[in-house]
C-alpha cells in the first residue's frame, strides 16, 4: 500500500465492489432470455386462445398423425444413418492408416458448406422423381452427417490409448475393446451430433417441400400461406415444440451422468493407427462414393445449371439480394453477439439454480425451428406491436433468437481467456464495472467474439424459413430469391443464388474444421 492519493486514505473504507453480476447484468441477461422465450409464449397463447376444445380438435385429426408419422420416421431414420456414417468415417479418418487422412477430413466436412435445400435442389433438378421418405432420408443424411463426423473425430483424437492397452492386456479382443472402451467414451460426441441432426431435421423446410414430404414444419407454412394466423398453425407449432423438447430430453437421458476423465499429468498416448489391410480398397471406395454423393452431385448440378443456356439471370436482382443478405447478416451478427454477451458473463458466475435456468431457457428457445420463431413474431407484430410488422428489425430479432447459442458458445469459450481475477484487478485499480469489461475482458475475448460474429453471420446467410415469413415486402435475400426461383422449378435462375450461398458458407466449414468443435 504505497498509494499517495490522500483522498483514498482519508476516506471511509472502500465499499466492496458489487460483483460484475450486478443488477444491470442480471437485468440484461433476463431480458435476452425473455425475448428468446417469447416465441413459445406467443404460440401457446395463440393456440389456446381459440379455446381448449378447438385446440384439442386440431391435434386429434388424421392429418396430425400423418405429419407425426412422417416427421418421426424421418428423424429416426436419418439421424441413425448420420450416426452410422459419421462414426464410421471418423474412425476411418482418425484411427486407421487411411492414405491422405487430412484431405479426407476436409472433403468429409465440406458438404456443410452446401445448405441442405440447395443439396435437395441439386438432386431433384436432375432426378425429379426422387420424392417422399426415401429421397428425404438420402438428402438430409448427405447434408447432415458431418454434424456427427466432426465431434466424433474430435473425440477420437482426444482418446488416450493407455485405456485400450489396459483392456487388451486384460484379454479383450480388438472389437470388444472398441465396443467396451472406445464407444462409451464417444457417447457424448455421438449423442451431441445426433441431437444437432435431429433438431435440424425437425426444423427442415426447404428439402421437404421440394421433395413433397410433408412434416410439421412444411404443414405450418402451408397453414400460414393458406389461412395466415389461424390457431391451427399455432397448434401444429406447439406439437413441433413438444417434439424438440422430446429430442432434447432423450439426449439428456441417454447422455446420463457418467463421465470419463483422465487424471494425471502424463501426455496422452496417441493410438497406433489400425492397418486397414484388405479393407483398404473397400474403405477408400466407400468414402469416395460418399464424397461424390454429398459433394460431387451438388457441385456438378450447380455447374450444370449455371452453364445451361437460356438461364435468365437477373443480375441486378441477384446483386440486391446479395446486398440485403449481407446487410441483414451483419446486423444479425452484431445484435446476437451483443445480446449473448451479458448472458455469457452471467453464466461465468458461480453456478446457481438461476444461472442454470437462464442457460437452459436460452438453449431451449433456440432449438426452436425457424418456422415457429417466424410465425410467433408475425403474430406478435400483427396483434400487439404493429409498428414492427414487415420491418427488417423484426427479422433481425428472429435471427438473434435462432442463433443466440452459436454466439453464446463462442463468447463463453472466449471469456474463459479472460479470468475473473483480471477483471477484479481492473476494478481494484479503479475502473467502473463497464469500463473494466471494455478494457480487460473485451480485448482478451476478441478472437472468440469474432468467431461468434462469423458463425451467426454465416448461419443467417442461408436461413430460409423465418426469412420467408418475416422478410419486409420488397426485400429478397439469397435464400428467398433461390426459393422463389426453385419452387417455380426455374432451376437455371436459382443456380446463381445457390452458388452465392455456398460461397458465403464455405468459410464456416473452414472455421469448424479449425475449431474442431461443432457449434452449428
230 versus 515: smaller Cβ distance to another protein: 230
Q: How far apart are CA 433 and CA 424, in angstroms?
A: 9
Is 310 an interacting residue with respect to another protein (CB under 8 A)? yes
Candidates 468, 463, 432; CA nearest to 200 is: 463
197-226: which residues touch another protein (CB under 8 A)? 209, 212, 214, 219, 222-223, 225-226
217 versus 223: smaller Cβ distance to another protein: 223
Candidate residues 443, 503, 507, 516; the one interacting with another protein per rule CB under 8 A:
443
b or e along 55-75 (b: 16 or more beta carbons within 10 Å of the residue's beta carbon)?
Answer: beebeeeeebeebeebbeebb
60-89: which residues touch another protein (CB under 8 A)? 61-63, 66
Is 49 an interacting residue with respect to another protein (CB under 8 A)? no
Candidates 301, 298, 337; CA nearest to 113 is: 298
219 versus 358: smaller Cβ distance to another protein: 219
Inter-residue contact 335 to 460 (CB < 8 Å): no
C-alpha cell at 269: 498416448
Contact flags string 128-157 toward another protein, x per CB under 8 A: xx----------------------------
Cell match 467396451: residue? Answer: 180
Q: Minimal distance in Å, beta carbon 509 to another protein?
A: 21
Is 413 an interacting residue with respect to another protein (CB under 8 A)? no
70 versus 141: smaller Cβ distance to another protein: 70
Is 3 an interacting residue with respect to another protein (CB under 8 A)? no
Q: Minimal distance in Å, beta carbon 480 to another protein?
A: 13
Inter-residue contact 387 to 263 (CB < 8 Å): no
444 versus 513: smaller Cβ distance to another protein: 444
Number of residues that bind another protein (CB under 8 A): 53
Q: Minimal distance in Å, beta carbon 365 to another protein?
A: 22
The DSSP result for 119-187, as a single string, is HHHHHHHH-TT--HHHHHHHHHHHHHTHHHHHHHHHHHHH--HHHHHHHHHTT--HHHHIIIIIHHHHH
Cα distances (Å, whole numbers) of residue 292 to 128, 215, 447, 509: 19, 28, 35, 18
Binding segment toward another protein, per CB under 8 A, in 261-269, 344-352, 416-424, 482-490:
482-490
C-alpha cell at 29: 441477461
149 versus 483: smaller Cβ distance to another protein: 483
11 versus 62: smaller Cβ distance to another protein: 62
Is 396 an interacting residue with respect to another protein (CB under 8 A)? yes
b or e along 219-229 (b: 16 or more beta carbons within 10 Å of the residue's beta carbon)?
Answer: bbbebbeeeee
DSSP state of 493: H
Candidates 297, 303, 298, 211; CA nearest to 496 is: 303
Is 18 an interacting residue with respect to another protein (CB under 8 A)? no
Helices (H) and strands (E) in the chain, counts: 26, 0
Is 390 an interacting residue with respect to another protein (CB under 8 A)? yes
Is 389 an interacting residue with respect to another protein (CB under 8 A)? yes
Beta strands per DSSP E along 57-136: none
448-477: which residues touch another protein (CB under 8 A)? 449-450, 453, 472-475
Inter-residue contact 144 to 197 (CB < 8 Å): yes
Residues that bind another protein (CB under 8 A): 61-63, 66, 128-129, 209, 212, 214, 219, 222-223, 225-230, 232, 310, 323-324, 326-328, 330-331, 333-335, 382-383, 386, 389-393, 396, 443, 446-447, 449-450, 453, 472-475, 487-490
Amino acid at each position: 500500500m504505497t498509494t499517495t492519493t490522500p483522498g483514498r486514505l482519508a476516506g471511509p473504507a472502500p465499499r466492496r465492489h458489487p460483483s460484475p453480476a450486478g443488477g444491470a447484468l442480471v437485468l440484461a441477461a433476463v431480458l435476452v432470455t425473455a425475448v428468446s422465450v417469447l416465441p413459445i409464449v406467443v404460440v401457446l397463447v395463440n393456440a389456446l386462445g381459440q379455446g381448449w376444445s378447438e385446440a384439442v380438435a386440431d391435434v386429434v385429426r388424421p392429418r396430425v398423425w400423418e405429419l407425426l408419422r412422417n416427421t418421426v420416421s424421418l428423424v429416426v431414420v436419418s439421424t441413425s444413418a448420420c450416426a452410422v456414417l459419421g462414426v464410421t468415417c471418423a474412425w476411418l479418418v482418425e484411427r486407421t492408416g487411411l492414405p491422405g487422412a487430412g484431405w479426407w477430413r476436409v472433403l468429409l466436412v465440406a458438404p456443410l458448406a452446401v445448405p441442405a435445400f440447395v443439396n435437395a435442389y441439386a438432386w431433384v433438378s436432375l432426378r425429379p422423381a426422387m420424392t417422399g421418405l426415401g429421397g428425404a432420408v438420402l438428402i438430409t443424411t448427405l447434408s447432415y452427417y458431418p454434424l456427427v463426423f466432426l465431434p466424433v473425430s474430435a473425440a477420437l483424437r482426444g482418446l488416450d490409448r493407455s485405456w485400450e492397452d489396459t483392456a487388451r492386456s486384460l484379454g479383450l479382443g480388438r472389437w470388444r475393446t472398441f465396443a467396451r472402451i472406445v464407444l462409451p467414451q464417444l457417447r457424448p460426441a455421438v449423442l451431441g451430433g445426433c441431437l444437432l441432426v435431429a433438431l435440424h431435421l425437425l426444423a427442415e423446410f426447404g428439402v421437404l417441400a421440394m421433395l413433397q414430404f410433408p412434416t410439421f414444419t412444411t404443414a405450418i407454412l402451408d397453414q400460414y400461406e393458406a389461412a395466415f394466423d389461424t390457431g391451427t398453425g399455432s397448434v401444429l407449432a406447439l406439437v413441433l415444440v413438444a417434439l424438440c423438447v422430446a429430442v432434447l430430453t432423450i439426449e439428456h437421458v441417454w447422455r446420463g451422468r457418467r463421465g470419463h476423465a483422465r487424471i494425471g499429468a502424463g501426455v496422452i498416448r496417441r493410438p497406433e493407427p489400425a492397418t486397414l489391410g484388405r479393407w483398404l480398397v473397400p474403405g477408400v471406395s466407400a468414402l469416395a462414393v460418399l464424397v461424390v454423393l454429398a459433394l460431387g452431385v451438388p457441385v456438378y448440378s450447380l455447374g450444370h445449371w449455371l452453364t445451361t443456356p437460356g438461364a435468365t439471370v437477373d443480375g441486378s436482382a441477384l446483386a440486391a439480394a446479395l446486398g440485403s443478405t449481407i446487410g441483414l447478416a451483419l446486423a444479425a451478427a452484431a445484435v446476437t453477439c451483443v445480446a449473448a454477451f451479458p448472458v455469457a458473463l452471467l453464466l461465468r458466475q458461480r453456478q446457481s439454480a438461476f444461472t442454470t435456468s437462464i442457460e437452459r431457457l436460452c438453449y431451449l428457445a433456440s432449438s426452436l425451428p425457424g418456422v415457429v420463431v417466424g410465425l410467433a413474431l408475425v403474430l406478435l407484430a400483427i396483434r400487439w406491436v404493429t409498428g414492427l410488422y414487415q420491418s427488417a428489425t423484426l427479422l433481425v430479432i428472429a435471427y438473434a433468437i435462432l442463433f443466440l447459442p452459436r454466439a453464446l458458445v463462442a463468447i463463453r469459450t472466449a471469456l474463459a481467456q479472460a479470468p475473473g481475477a483480471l477483471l477484479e484487478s481492473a476494478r481494484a485499480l479503479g475502473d467502473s464495472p463497464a469500463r473494466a469489461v471494455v478494457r480487460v475482458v473485451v480485448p482478451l475475448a476478441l478472437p472468440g467474439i469474432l468467431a461468434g460474429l462469423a458463425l451467426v453471420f454465416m448461419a443467417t446467410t442461408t436461413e430460409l424459413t423465418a426469412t420467408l415469413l418475416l422478410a419486409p415486402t420488397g426485400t429478397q435475400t439469397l435464400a428467398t430469391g433461390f426459393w422463389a426461383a426453385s419452387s417455380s422449378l426455374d432451376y437455371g435462375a436459382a443456380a446463381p443464388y445457390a452458388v452465392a450461398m455456398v460461397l458465403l458458407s464455405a468459410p464456416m466449414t473452414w472455421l469448424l474444421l479449425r475449431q474442431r468443435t461443432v457449434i452449428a
